[in-house]
Amino acid sequence: MTDAANTDRWIRRLNLVQLVLAGVIIMAPTVWMVLSSFKPSFEVTAYPPTLVFSPTLDNYVELTKTTPFLSYALNSLIVTVGSTALGLLFGIPAAFAVSWTRISWPAILTLAARMAPGTLFLLPWYVMFRQIGMIGSFTALILSHAVITLPIVIWVLLPSFDGIPRSVFEAAQVDGCSVTRILWRIALPLVASGVAVSAILAFVFSWNYFLFALVLSNGDTKTLIAAAFNFIGEGSTQWGALMAAATLIALPPLVLAALVQRWLVSGLTLGAVKG
């Protein structure tokens, strides 16, 4: 065997080891969470952890008995869909405007906003919404979650819009299109998969976001992830129910990502190479 072939073989083996390690690191907590949700309550925190056990749905039954789980799920859905729609409504024209004008500072500003810790926004949001009597309202939650969804939409769509040859927009201008019509009739259909990807990512990030809902919601508008926090108490924590809740909360984003994974990758790289 030649040296080159030998090196190649070793590189492939190392790649495999890296992939397995990455898989274990990423998946182990998830697998542990799912398994724990089917364990009897006393076994969840047993040490050493039990791998063989009699699976039970007790934790799920407990969850639905002690909490209005479906109501929280509906709240999560309202906030997530609302903030995703808001993110798309403002993010699509914003990304197009940045691409069209080639003035990038607004996009950098939104990215900075996304990278800033949520607590930075929390206090102003809280004071503002309290003053206008909106604490605990869906409107407050949807508006606050737009801080998460809007930058995602802008940053996923910006390379997609940039990837459309400029001459296509210019041809539309010469054909008689206004800028608004160019966005609606020309640009948007060409970045449809990018829009879908940004919507899915915005949905997932908003669905999983904990902090704003914890402070800005009330009993009627509490989202799933904030409600799950109730299972953690100072004296005792209901680990079994918490794991069941966490498993159910993780389900929609995981199912969504699994369904569109191929599309997700192609959508994220859309615009990187001109067709």
Partner 1 sequence: MASISIRSLVKRYGNFTVIPDLNLEIADHEFVVFVGPSGCGKSTLLRIIAGLEPISSGDLYIGDKRVNGVQAAQRDIAMVFQDYALYPHMKVYDNMSFALELRGVPNAEIDARVKRAAALLHIEPYLDRKPKELSGGQRQRVAMGRAIVRNPKAFLFDEPLSNLDAKLRGQVRAEIKALSQELKTTMVFVTHDQIEAMTMADRIVVLQSGTIQQYDTPEIVYERPANQFVAGFIGSPAMNFFPVEWRAEGAILSQGGTAVPLDGETANRLRRAGSAVLGIRPEHFAVVDAADGIAVNVRLVEPLGSDTLIHFDLAGGSAIARVDPALRPKVGDRITVRPQQGKTHLFDAANGQVLR
Binding site for partner 1 (CB under 8 A): 165, 167-168, 170-178, 181, 185-186, 189-190, 275
Q: How far is the CB of 163 from partner 1 (least distance, A)?
A: 11
Considering the complex, state which of residue 177 and residue 211 has its C-beta at the smaller distance from partner 1: 177
Q: How far is the CB of 105 from partner 1 (least distance, A)?
A: 19
Distance CA 194, CA 188 (A): 9
Distance CA 89, CA 105 (A): 20
Considering the complex, state which of residue 13 and residue 185 has its C-beta at the smaller distance from partner 1: 185
Q: How far is the CB of 192 from partner 1 (least distance, A)?
A: 8
Q: How far is the CB of 161 from partner 1 (least distance, A)?
A: 14
Considering the complex, state which of residue 258 and residue 273 has its C-beta at the smaller distance from partner 1: 273
Considering the complex, state which of residue 37 and residue 160 has its C-beta at the smaller distance from partner 1: 160
Q: How far is the CB of 174 from partner 1 (least distance, A)?
A: 5
Q: How far is the CB of 145 from partner 1 (least distance, A)?
A: 32
Considering the complex, state which of residue 155 and residue 263 has its C-beta at the smaller distance from partner 1: 263
User: What is the secondary structure of the chain as a DSSP string?
Assistant: --HHHHHHHHHHHHHHHHHHHHHHHHHHHHHHHHHHHTS-HHHHT-SSPPSS-----HHHHHHHHHS-HHHHHHHHHHHHHHHHHHHHHHHHHHHHHHHHH---HHHHHHHHHHHS-HHHHHHHHHHHHHHTT-TT-HHHHHHHHHHHHHHHHHHHHHHHHHHS-HHHHHHHHHHT--HHHIIIIIIHHHTHHHHHHHHHHHHHHHHH--HHHHHH--TTT--HHHHHGGG--SS---HHHHHHHHHHHHHHHHHHHHHTHHHHHHHHTTTSS--
Tokens of 112: 């900075």
Distance CA 195, CA 259 (A): 16
Distance CA 75, CA 15 (A): 43
Considering the complex, state which of residue 71 and residue 193 has its C-beta at the smaller distance from partner 1: 193
Q: How far is the CB of 173 from partner 1 (least distance, A)?
A: 4
Considering the complex, state which of residue 130 and residue 185 has its C-beta at the smaller distance from partner 1: 185
